Each structure stands twice: as structure tokens, then as C-alpha cells.
């Protein structure tokens, strides 16, 4: 499960989904790689978590334990 530091991460994930559709995860991964190449480990981690969040948001069913 992704760990989100700010609620704006959810908004960023939704924005990527609206703009890129099924390729939103690839866009988040590309942004993470760009951040890593620039030596910005904080934004690298953030975009990786957003990438994971996009996968969860796109899932049709429940993920994890449902009680």
C-alpha cells in the first residue's frame, strides 16, 4: 500500500488519470525517473508512491483485506 504524505498526492494522481488515462502510471513513473536523474530523492519517492496510488485507484475491486 502506498504511503501518502499529503492529500494533494491524491489530487495529483487524479489529475494524471484525467490527463493520461491508462498511461497515468507510466507518466508518474517517468516523473519519478526524472526526479531521480536530477538527484531529488524526495520527489522521486513521492512520484513512485503516486504511481502506486494510481494502480489502486484504477482497480475495479477491493485491494487488501475486506472485513
What's the CA gap between 43 and 54, in Å, rounded? 16
62 in helix, strand or coil? coil
Q: Are 28 and 10 in contact (CB under 8 A)?
A: no
The grid coordinates of residue 7 equal 492529500
Note the pLDDT of residue 67: 66
Residues 6+ apart with CB under 8 A from 53: 2, 4, 9, 10, 13
| Mean pLDDT for the stretch of residues 47-57 | 93
- Taking only the tens place, the pLDDT of each residue in 12-46 is 999 999 999 999 999 999 999 999 999 999 999 99
Confidence (pTM): 0.84
Amino acid at each position: 500500500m502506498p504511503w501518502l504524505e499529503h492529500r494533494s498526492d491524491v489530487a495529483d494522481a487524479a489529475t494524471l488519470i484525467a490527463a493520461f488515462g491508462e498511461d497515468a502510471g507510466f507518466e508518474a513513473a517517468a516523473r519519478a525517473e526524472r526526479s531521480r536523474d536530477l538527484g531529488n530523492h524526495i520527489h522521486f519517492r513521492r512520484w513512485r508512491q503516486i504511481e502506486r496510488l494510481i494502480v489502486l485507484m484504477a482497480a475495479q475491486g477491493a485491494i487488501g483485506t475486506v472485513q
